[in-house]
Amino acid sequence: MSYKENGYLLLENFFTETNLYAIEKILYKFHEKWMVDNASSFEKGVLNSHSLTSGNYLDMEEKTALFQFISQQSIQEIIDTIYTDTPVFLNTQLFFDPKDNSQKNYWHRDIQYTGLTVEEQKQAIKHQDVVHFRIPMKAELGIELIPKTHREWDLPHEFDVRNSLNNSKPSDDLERGKTIQLNRGDLLVFSANMIHRGIYGKDRFSFDVIFCNNIPEIKRFIDQSNYPSEGILKKLKNKELFRS
Ligand SMILES: O=C(O)CCC(=O)C(=O)O
């Protein structure tokens, strides 16, 4: 199964316990602080945080550990197989369950939130890729996605569902959906171009690392404060991903 054809790649048991242990405490530390400062957003249904490597929730040593994890050789090798150009780091996110366990999930393509027209989106997905590396800290129900839609446009009903048109709701089931359940240690690589939705439950806690093409259309979304400082950069063996 190839990423290029399907838009995703599941690599089971990709990470060792040692590998995960090096970042797990740091992720929970960030999450606890985020929850204190963002209690009202969580009440309102927010189910992810972002930008773990900027701000002051984590100290320099903790940020360095995250960057060492992100730039490790085994991840770089996967990046090299899925991109034909030389991509760069975009950001990080944590995904958790919404406070209200009856909250519905929603099909979307990330690109639908970027302000591009539908015609521009159709063109853009042919050559641009924002790619998530999903790293679950515990077993989770995962992501449901529609294979090949990283390059192919929606069927009419799929478009209606993710845009709430013609009496459709973004949480409606879609026939072509494929659910990828994940275990601790697994790595799910998927293009955010794809029609996809998160499957909530099991008190999930996933770390997503996001990469993108090194092209101006996408680089406008890079916030340099998420990049390693000069001091941290010196400590990294692989600086490739941060040359933006
Ligand atoms: O896991 C989720 O809740 C949704 C994930 C998602 O939409 C994304 O990573 O772009």
Task: Give the 3-state secondary structure of residue 59.
Answer: coil
Out of 3.40.50.9100, 3.40.50.970, 3.40.50.700, 2.60.120.620, the CATH code matching 3-242 is 2.60.120.620
Model confidence over 157-214: pLDDT tens digits?
999 999 999 999 999 999 999 999 999 999 999 999 999 999 999 999 999 999 999 9
Contact 221, 35 (CB under 8 A): no
Residue identifier of the C-alpha nearest atom 3 of ligand 1: 198
Q: Is the CB of 192 under 6 A from ligand 1?
A: yes
Distance 140 CA to ligand 1 centre (A): 13
Question: pLDDT grade, residue 244 (50/70/90)?
Answer: confident
pLDDT, one tens digit per residue, over 58-77 is 999 999 999 999 999 999 99
Categorize the per-residue pLDDT at 126 as very low, low, confident or very high, splitting at 50, 70 and 90: very high
Residue 8's pLDDT band, with cuts at 50, 70 and 90, is: very high
CA distances from 237 to 24, 55, 69, 187 (A): 21, 23, 11, 22
Alpha helices in the chain (DSSP H): 3-6, 17-37, 39-43, 60-70, 73-82, 118-124, 156-162, 216-219, 230-235
* Residue spans per domain, the chain: 3-242
